[in-house]
């Protein structure tokens, strides 16, 4: 127990001060610089602050703070690393050897060992070359957060994208409100150059986050992952499936409910076995 706790703290220390330190620092600096620019220029935020109407400015700053905290949460959180061999598959599933033998070979549930960390890989897990760990329900390794997105932090990643999108769109609106008029383009650019650069950065980031959020919500509604969607032809438990067949799909509403509202660990072998056992 003590060794695993030390290992956990060592991994957290590595996450904070490892290769992602510069990425996280740049993200935080960029976030607060943009926020500061919006308050220093003649935007609606500054006007409301000067007139004593503090509700909107305070809510905006709090939302920015929440987005930063969520960023660090998904960035430093254990995404679902596989750190030891799981229990015997029969005990996990509660099925007998006879039942396993009834499953077609194309739908074998036997776990395979990872060729890198030599641990048994639960279904839907994948080894990440960057993190050097197998990750449960692996989605992708995100360079933005310098961490994997997996079973434990995927919902928080989607929530972070949603909050970040609100902040960016709100900031873009505030930047637009701060543009001043001028007699010539040269004078206009001189007066609004910094605010214009801020608006461009916010617009590009807004589009990026919007595309990411939309794609993740779409995949979540299908109960599939980015890795499974992009590489299903190379994944052993999906090779036999048709182009539109997903053994984990339980319907859009149940998929969304399970993703956002169910917190217990899902034994995907069990779901896969039930799907494979249904009569056709």
20-25 average pLDDT score: 88
Helices and strands (H and E) in the chain: how many: 11, 7
**What is the tens place of the pLDDT at every residue in 104-113?**
444 445 567 8
Residue range 61-80, pLDDT digits in tens: 999 999 999 999 999 999 99
The backbone torsions φ and ψ at residue 229, rounded to the nearest 5 degrees and listed phi first, read -70, -40
Residue 132 has pLDDT above 70, yes or no: yes
Residue 51 has pLDDT above 50, yes or no: yes
Q: Which residue has the higher pLDDT, 214 or 121?
A: 214
**Average pLDDT for residues 163-188, to the nearest whole number?**
93
Average pLDDT, the chain: 84
Judged against a pLDDT cut of 60, whether residue 207 lies above it is answered with yes
Compute φ and ψ for 127, nearest 5 degrees. -80, 130
Quote the pLDDT of residue 265. 80
Task: Provide the 10 A C-beta neighbour count for residue 17.
Answer: 10
Classified as helix, coil or strand, 147 is: strand
State the average pLDDT over residues 266-273: 80
pLDDT of residue 128: 92
- Buried/exposed 24-55: b ≥16 CB within 10 Å, e otherwise: beebeeebeebbebbeebebbbbebeeeeeee
pLDDT, residue 115, reads 81
Pick the catalytic residue from 128, 134, 142, 148. Answer: 142
Q: Where are the domains of the chain?
A: 2-277
More confident residue, 102 or 197: 197
Question: Does the annotation mark 142 as catalytic?
Answer: yes
* Mean of pLDDT values over 211-235: 94
What confidence tens digit (pLDDT) does each residue in 89-127 have? 444 444 444 444 444 444 445 567 888 888 888 889 999
Tell me phi and psi for residue 225, to 5 degrees: -115, 165
Query: Who contacts 197 (Cβ-Cβ below 8 Å, separation ≥6)?
Result: none
Distance CA 67, CA 183 (A): 39
pLDDT value for 60:
97
């Amino acid at each position: 127990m003590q060794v695993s706790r030390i290992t956990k703290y060592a991994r957290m220390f590595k996450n904070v001060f490892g290769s992602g330190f510069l990425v996280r620092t740049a993200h935080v600096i960029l976030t607060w610089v943009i926020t500061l620019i919006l308050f220093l220029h003649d935007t609606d935020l500054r006007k409301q602050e000067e007139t004593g109407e503090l509700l909107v400015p305070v809510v905006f700053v709090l939302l920015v703070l929440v987005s930063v905290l969520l960023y660090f949460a998904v960035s430093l959180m254990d995404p679902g690393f596989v750190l030891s061999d799981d229990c015997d598959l029969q005990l996990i599933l509660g099925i007998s050897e006879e039942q396993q033998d009834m499953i077609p070979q194309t739908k074998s549930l036997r776990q395979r060992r990872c060729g890198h960390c030599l641990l048994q890989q639960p279904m839907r897990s994948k080894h990440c070359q960057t993190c050097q760990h197998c990750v449960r329900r692996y989605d992708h390794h995100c360079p933005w957060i310098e961490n994997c997105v997996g079973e434990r932090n995927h919902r928080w990643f989607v929530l972070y994208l949603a909050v970040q999108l609100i902040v960016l769109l709100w900031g873009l609106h505030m930047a637009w409100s701060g543009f001043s008029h001028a007699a010539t383009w040269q004078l206009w650019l001189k007066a609004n150059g910094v605010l214009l650069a801020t608006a461009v950065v916010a617009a590009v980031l807004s589009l990026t986050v919007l595309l990411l959020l939309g794609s993740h919500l779409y995949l979540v509604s299908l109960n599939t992952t980015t890795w499974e969607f992009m590489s299903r032809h190379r994944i052993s438990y999906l090779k036999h499936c048709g182009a539109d067949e997903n053994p984990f799909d339980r319907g859009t509403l149940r998929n969304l409910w399970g993703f956002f509202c169910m917190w217990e660990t899902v034994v995907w072998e069990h779901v896969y076995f039930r799907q494979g056992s249904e009569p056709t």
